[in-house]
Amino acid sequence: MSKKFIQFVDGPNLNMLGEREPEIYGSMTLDEVHKTVKDYIAQNYKEIDVNFFQSNSEGDIVDCIQKSKNTASGLIINGGGFSHTSVAILDALLTIEIPKIEIHLSNLFRREDFRHHSYISKGVHGVICGFGPNSYVLAVEGMVKLI
């Protein structure tokens, strides 16, 4: 069995996890969240490999999504604040024909009204939100079923 590859894309301010609003996002850093995912995959899915990308720049995120078309079996994205504003990221997601899942640490529907709408949701197969760092692990479970 050949290895499957999952690309994670983390958007703006996720590099500040652990410091930024821990009452909303928790106390784990992004590196700790990524380590949790790597450990989970290593224990449960030997045939899966993973890569993590984080940027505060919309254009860099679009570039990463476009490159994933040729390198990844599936893509999991936490668009952060760009989820609510970026048609460019939506368009990039719509151009790649691999399974895609949107994730968020917090429950968007328990937050400010402007966070209740995500542009990028239209470009993915499913959305997981509100489970803190476990949103990432739950997304892996969902992605394994899609790839």
Question: Tokens 């990524």 appear where?
Answer: 34
As a whole number of angstroms, the distance between CA 12 and CA 5 comes to: 23
What element of type H or E holds 140? helix 134-146
3-state secondary structure 3-52: CEEEEEEECCCHHHCCCCCHHHHCCCCHHHHHHHHHHHHHHHCCCEEEEE
Residue 95 backbone dihedrals phi, psi, to 5 degrees: -85, -15
Q: Is 25 a catalytic residue?
A: yes
Residue 104 designated active-site: yes
Q: Which residue of the set 34, 40, 104, 117 is catalytic?
A: 104
Catalytic residue, chosen from 25, 34, 119, 136, is 25
Residues annotated as catalytic (active site), given as ranges: 25, 104
